[in-house]
Structure 1
């Protein structure tokens, strides 16, 4: 893999052939020879010439940065225990979901790596152009990068979301009332909580005391995992809240 690439007209390459060869030998750089602005030949390092100068394979992406190869899908849910092993082994459904999530995470990270490597190559060419005082070429290279950050950015966002679902803790319920409990800033120990609509009509988490005043005691149950479709976490659509107000 080359560190930088150069592009020179035939006359400049002829006059500086010693420098061109030294760059290829010592820095692994490719120098493209041009005639009237068109590439017609190249001076490449010998190891690259012997193995072929094809660029490394990259994950194929669509215009929005999504991987074109088939992405995994899996049905989510609150998976139970494996009955045959008495709960010592994960259930078949949990194994399928976890494998699909890991494959999706791997795909997204591969996309980030491939696109980042491609962007690094362009920036390396811009650095080489600046070193040769070709400021216009450097600007053209950077202009070509515009818009290409969306693909790795989107893949990284999908990877983070999938990673969060893979590492999320199981749900904690109160032994007495089987209601959700959790830890909250400014409160000690577990607290009962529920989702409620505040005065602004926004869903918010509300900490409350049960009517009989019992203290929360935790038991953990498998969390509900989301569906995975085409390698991405599926979020249920937010249902509009309808209210009836008296005039």
Structure 2
């Protein structure tokens, strides 16, 4: 980040635009443009705008937008606890998931900062009535939006996997149970084909009429690879489902 910063009202920046640009190009200075004392835009050196305004040495992504840190990976499966607490496998899995979430969110933040710099240049161009420049800057934003969008989508999937609850089974029959909108308490459920031939959730009453009460078993966690959640069918090392 530049060590020199200026702050000028729009009128002054307009009158001194050549000097402002020269300071950015030759001296690495950032000039903040103000209106009624409020910062509304900025003229920044091009290298700073392209990488965002985060300090050198802490850049989270490379020139292609890929995280610089090694992408975390961990095998999935069912992890059990004992008297000593969680297994090392579960600890490693949780750490890998959190590191993957951190990397994806850092990518979103870093790229968003770079995009904000471009928008700041566009605002400055509007002040100078250079609408052609504004269009060029906006055109440069479009292709870059896919990166933060993709990273945020991956972050949501990682978060969902980290927070997904364990499986609930009925104490009496050891069949799956859950809570459902419009129904009170726990309900037995199973997957069955509906009238449209689609596999859907079906609620049912136990044959002996017992009331379902929950006990919990560890869910099957999906693996992490290259900083993302691995779909079950993409994970050749995924263990076979254990019998309940």
Q: TM-score, normalised by structure 1?
A: 0.73
Q: Give secondary structure in 2 for the equivalent of 1:147.
A: helix
- TM-score normalized with structure 2 length: 0.74
- Work out the number of aligned pairs and report it: 205
SS in 1 for 2:114: helix
Residue equivalent to 2:112 = 116
Change (3 A) 1:119 1:198: same
Matched, 1:163 2:147: no
1:97 equivalent in alignment to 2:93 = yes
Question: Unpaired segments of 5 or more residues in structure 1?
Answer: 5-12, 22-29, 34-38, 47-51, 239-247
Aligned pairs (5 A) from 1:174-185: 174-185=170-181
**Is it true that 1:233 corresponds to 2:229 in the alignment?**
yes
After TM superposition, the structure 1 stretch with the greater mean CA deviation from structure 2, 221-230 or 102-111, is 221-230
CA offset at residue 67 of structure 1? 3.1
Question: CA offset at residue 204 of structure 1?
Answer: 1.2
Counterpart in the other structure of 1:221: 217
Distance 2:141 2:213 in 1: 55
- 1:9-46 per-residue CA deviation (whole Å, 9 max, x = no partner) reads xxxx9x955x766xxxxxxxx6247xxxxx9x535449
- Residues 62 and 217 of structure 1, relative CA distance in 2, 3 Å threshold: farther
Q: Is 207-216 or 68-77 further displaced after alignment?
A: 68-77
Q: Hey, what does 2:21 align to over in structure 1? A: 31
**RMSD, aligned CA:** 3.1
**Match 1:149 to one of 145, 148, 160:** 145
CA shift, 1:149, in A, is 0.7
Summarize the alignment of residues 76-91 of structure 1 with structure 2, pairs less than 5 Å apart: 76-82=76-82, 86=83, 88-91=84-87
> How far apart in 2 are the matches of 1:113 and 1:179?
44
Correspondence list, 1:123-134, <5 A: 123-134=119-130
Q: Distance in 2 between matches of 1:66 and 1:225?
A: 25
Return the index of the structure with the highest Cα Rg. Answer: 1
Unaligned stretches of 5+ residues in structure 2: 7-12, 31-44, 49-54, 235-244
